[in-house]
Amino acid sequence: MPGTSVPGVIKAGTFYWDGKRVFWDVHHPEKTIVIDLHDERYNQLIVEVEDPQAAVGLIQSAL
């Protein structure tokens, strides 16, 4: 699957990792969250957000 990876700069796109289809969109790893999905095209989303703790709290409260 197509994706772009420049170590220390960016990782974006679809990658196969440990037998899983994973979508990445990360510039700053310290602002990254991982979302596990079930019964979807992707197994995980690994994305950068402005405030990881707030984003996780918002997702958890929606569940």
Backbone angles phi, psi at 19, to 5 degrees: 75, 10
| Neighbouring C-beta atoms of residue 18, cutoff 10 Å | 7
Strands 20-26 and 44-48: parallel
pTM of the full predicted structure?
Answer: 0.82
In this predicted structure, what is the pLDDT of residue 6?
72
pLDDT in tens, 8-63: 777 889 999 899 999 999 999 999 999 999 999 999 999 999 999 999 999 999 98
Provide the residue type at 5 as one letter. S
In this predicted structure, what is the pLDDT of residue 1?
55
In this predicted structure, what is the pLDDT of residue 3?
73
